[in-house]
Structure 1
Amino acid sequence: MTVEPTAAPGTSPLISFKDVSQVFRLQGQRAANGSATGSRELMALQGIDIEIQAGQFVALVGASGCGKTTLLNMLAGLVAPTRGEVSLAGRTPELPNMDIGYMFARDALLPWRSARKNVELPLETRGWDRKKREDRAREMLDLVGLKGRESQYRLQLSQGMRQRVALARTLAADPSILLMDEPFAALDARTKLTLQAEFLRIWEQHQGSDKRKTVIFVTHDLQEAVLLADRVIVMLPNPGRIAEDRVIDLPRPRAEHLSEIQFTDEFKRTTHDLFERLEGAIGDRAGQVAS
């Protein structure tokens, strides 16, 4: 059973997907005899309907190929839907959008720039003066626990530290919307939990305030989704579609209690319910294909 997300009466959603589908045309390959094999179409997304309120933390969870990243790219203005409408603050997303921060699974740090200079990068594109950029970069590196590492380069930092720099860079220009594409997937379990708590601490500091950022968080890890988000949207592949849209009823703030929350009955029950829904939907789909 889907639990519908709630919003204050009369509140318009910040983000809206209405009957969104996406078809990608795949180029054909050339056979050994030199003849073209032709192109084909791939239905990446079909009939996606989502509304997200400002300040909400929404996790998109599902297997690779279910269109999670495509949805992020639509919000960033990188991809237009084949059918349907995508709306961001009542308008079609366009490039550039300085109010969006986009963080990837890999740190994507420029190896010839120091940690501070990497964090300064989005501030340079916005025309900040040098002194203001430097002060802000130091402030953000301190916020993610990297004070004293400002002058180090990518090869001098561990994977966890690189992701901290990437997080500082994403937050540096203070965007109101954060698009996060499996940002902690490449980390070991302990470092991952530390970075999850660090990010939640930063996000939750504005709890109940209009300064709280809207987060769309892509992950293939169902436990991570339940642990962090206000709301979990479970997606299935071939084509990408929504199997479940569930509000997570776990108390906040959570940042200081992530380890304990994972062992609570409510966390286990919610994760189990969503897993069963995911498995059931996959089973239903397999049965339809077989018949």
Structure 2
Amino acid sequence: MKVAAIQMVSSARVPDNLHQARALLEQAARAGAQLAALPEYWSCMGLAETDKLARCETYGDGPVQQFLAQTARELSLWIVGGTLPLASAEPARVCNSSLVYSPRGECVARYDKIHLFRFDNGREAFDEARTIAPGSQPVCLALDAGEAGSWQVGLSVCYDLRFAELYRAHARAGAQLLLVPSAFTHTTGQAHWEVLLRARAVENLAYVLAPAQGGRHENGRRTWGHSMAVDPWGEVMALQAEGPGVVLAQLDAERLREVRAQLPALAHRVL
């Protein structure tokens, strides 16, 4: 199965971001991708943390969800919509949700980010819990890639990457591909992004696809980028450091079976 990680430098203007995303998704489709994943906050990187409250949509309706459904259908592409803010039961907080659309334009899975980022080094500070309500359930889905077969795909978002137990739950569910749409800060990304992605691939003997925000945003935030695809042996297959672009990789089910047969670590789990 050919997959694409879409890297963006999203602005505070939703229409501009939709336009950029459409162009990059079209590029991925022309290159033969069957699955394309957008980064976290792809439809809007607000000027303030509270901007997402005004831009949230009700699950199942809204211009961003309509865009994802229409684009998936028109491009005959599986699309993972990075994340977008969806209404929660709490009026002052939203869910940071990753939606998966089939080539028929149907939303077939929803994952609400479980782990909420908090960081303060005295120069930059973030606390997602102020505006985001956490999810509670891992989500793994079966994705039909036609001649490339069926793939079990585990969903996650950004800060989730630091919590190995989530990915182990995906492994127990049979995940072969782990998705990590992200907006890592430049500070934390430079230190930890690649090593964490490669670790999640190695310990779960799975492919990892990580689309990211990558550049300087209008709100002053600088994201790390380095969108990449990693194979089950922990090798980086493809990468883009900064700026908008498409990272392409060919996933090989036989290679996955081979690695898991040579090193059956998943069968050796005790805890």
TM-score normalized with structure 2 length: 0.34
Greater relative contact order: 1 or 2 (C-alpha under 8 angstroms, separation 6 or more)? 1
* Larger Rg computed on CA atoms: 1
